[in-house]
Amino acid sequence: MQSGRDAKTVLILCEKPDAAKRVAIALDEDGKPKEKRLRKIPYYEASRGDRRLIIVPALGHLYTVTPKSEDRNVYPVFDFYWAPRYMVERGAKETEAWISAISRLSKEAEEYILATDYDIEGATLGYTILKYACGGKETVAKRMKFSTLTAEELRDAYEKLLPQIEFPTVEAGICRHFVDAIYGINLSRAMTIAAKKYSGIYTTISTGRVQGPTLSFVVDREKEINSFIPTPYWTVKAVVKIGDSTYEAEYEQQILRRLDEAERVVEDCRGKDGKITKIDVRRFEQKPPVPFDLGTLQTEAYSFFKYTPRRTANIAERLYLEALISYPRTSSQKLPPSINYEGILKSLSQRPEYRELTTELLTRGELKPNEGRREDPAHPAIYPTGNLPERALSEPERRVWDLIIRRFMAVFGEPAVKQSVRVTIDVNGHLFYLRGRQILKEGWMRFYKPYTRVEEVLLPPLKEGETLEVLQVIREDKFTKPPSRYNPSSLLKRMEEERIGTKATRADIIETLYMRGYISGERIIVSELGFDVINILRKYCPLVISVEFTRSLEEKMEMIQNGKESMENVVREAVAQLKPVLERLKMNEREIGRALNEAIRKAKMRDRIIGTCPVCKTGQLMILYSRRTGKRFIGCTNFFKGLCKTSFPLPQRGKAKPSGRNCNSCGWPTVEVRIRGRRPMVICFNPDCPSKKGRRA
């Protein structure tokens, strides 16, 4: 080891403080790096061989794409550049100190290593910091590539440095930022300015290259639901007695379109016995599930825990930074042997709840995962690292970690063996089917419990030719149902299927639609403002909400990443397509402004009225703001008439709006409070609600 004076100084740039700390501990020879601060910004000094390592974190993106013109009331604008976030974004003031600290520390370094997340965003944010804060060091920086923050993998990544950062990926990332800014800023300004010119009141109205098509999915579904006309149909079931139990057998035609048909079946079968004419037994294997990519993790977490896609992504990010799971923003469904399946399972066996299952897998011999088709050149599928928590996990963190662990174990399981039975029963010439299903061998399902949903229907021993007593033949009158509403998970899945957005941005797009007031509720409902935004875009610039157009841009950005297209061509083409759209919006500014303002007015009023006042019974409870304190509360509209003084406090954080549902315990209307990145809370503000009795103050 050389002396500190002779040692070569290396700056290692990480994405976040937690990641920087893990890199520093892993690379320091004694595992005890020095934690230091520069203008309150944390960084670490470590020693390794003949190197003095300065490990400094960013705070996510420190630079952003912004128009050169500072006048926010002007569009179109096509001249954009990278600028420090603190110069152009409200609430980003702290990034100034981070840029200053990184810039100063970079002057001490002779070598540079980029150790941000190995994906398009990590590469782009690292490139901008190396270029602008470090004074053009992007061309000389080397690259650490890793998928987990375990000490072993970090040391391996340091020893096997890539000679340069991934420039094609950077170019694709820069292109995405520029195209998204060009579309998002221009279209949002066009509508915001139109609304302001008409009413004189400023209200942010946003849309964008991916946001527009995503909102159109929900609007189109809402229109289908609203225009749906139920049509009647009928079903027939036979209740048969087998031993001491009764079973329902369904008629061979599951749906009967005419009432007289259904009545004839009931009449023909009344008082008649049934005869078993055929028993079909089918055994089949169900393969294990494939490893999690981000989308399937988000889908499962919503299905079992009702966590929104964004919340799941945030939880997974925390687990990654704690070195408990691999990098979550991946589209891969592959688990390469290099991750050391056996080592991970042995480590997990230290936890009592996994010991029996991991031991079973380890004693089987070869470990071979059932993999999916999707691949990601940057990272494998999501998997547990085998590291155990260094602190007590919160309940949401524990749940998601457990889900990932059990999915990892399940992919190594054997196929499950299931059996289905279909018994054909002839009742006076009419055929009914009795169905059973049974799990003969759990296989992989044993490892994925409690996240398997299987409902067995066991039938008693039966044989062909057997006569069964028919106790009752039932006709059920039904109506067709409209298509189901989207929820955050199914909307994200639709985005994936249409290949718009990226694994890292889809959840944020959906969250933005909520925050803008375009959509609401877990079963998504579109507001009038959401309808109007899509109607305006569809009338004046249908290209902007075209899935095909958005998808083609995504494909071209992938081509940039693969070296088959240039950023300049893609940006040039995007600008050429947007110019006539903006010209048309400007020509129809007044009409657009009028439509938007009417929708904004209705939306604001609807978002404030909670429901009928339960005290005076004649007024409406509304979300109001105190002129004296600026705080919000719930008050009765009869207060202004001097008839009712009813009021209730509200949480001051997050966006509050009517939930549209009454409290199950007291029947009062409730309020939904949505804090960005968290699951919405539904609050009953009745102080005497039975559900609140026994709670600690």
- Active-site residue numbers? 327
**Burial (CB count <10 Å: 0-12, 13-18, 19+), residue 350:** exposed
| Opening angle at CA 46, ends 41 and 49, nearest 5 | 155
Written as six digits, the tokens of 632 are 């919000």
Residue 357 class from Cβ within 10 Å (0-12 exposed, 13-18 middle, 19+ buried)?
A: buried
Half-sphere exposure of 470 (CA within 13 A, CB side): 26
SS3 category, 577: helix
Q: 265-271 long-range contacts, Cβ below 8 Å, gap at least 24?
A: 265/236, 265/430, 265/473, 265/475, 266/236, 266/473, 266/474, 266/475, 268/427, 268/428, 268/429, 268/430, 269/238, 269/427, 269/428, 269/430, 269/470, 269/473, 270/473
Answer for the pair 455, 268: CB distance below 8 angstroms, yes or no: no
Cβ neighbors of 585 (< 8 A, separation 6 or more) are: 187, 190, 191, 194, 540, 541, 592
- The strand pairing partners of 632, in sequence order, are 625
Q: Which two tokens stand for residue 693?
A: 């009795």
Answer whether 268's CB lies under 8 Å from 299's CB. no
Q: Say how far apart CA 19 and CA 115 lie, in whole Å.
A: 9
How far is CA 164 from its chain centroid? 32
Residue-by-residue DSSP string for 580-603: HHHHHHHHTHHHHHHHHHHHHHHH
Find, among 120, 14, 89, 13, the residue nearest to 504 by Cα. 120
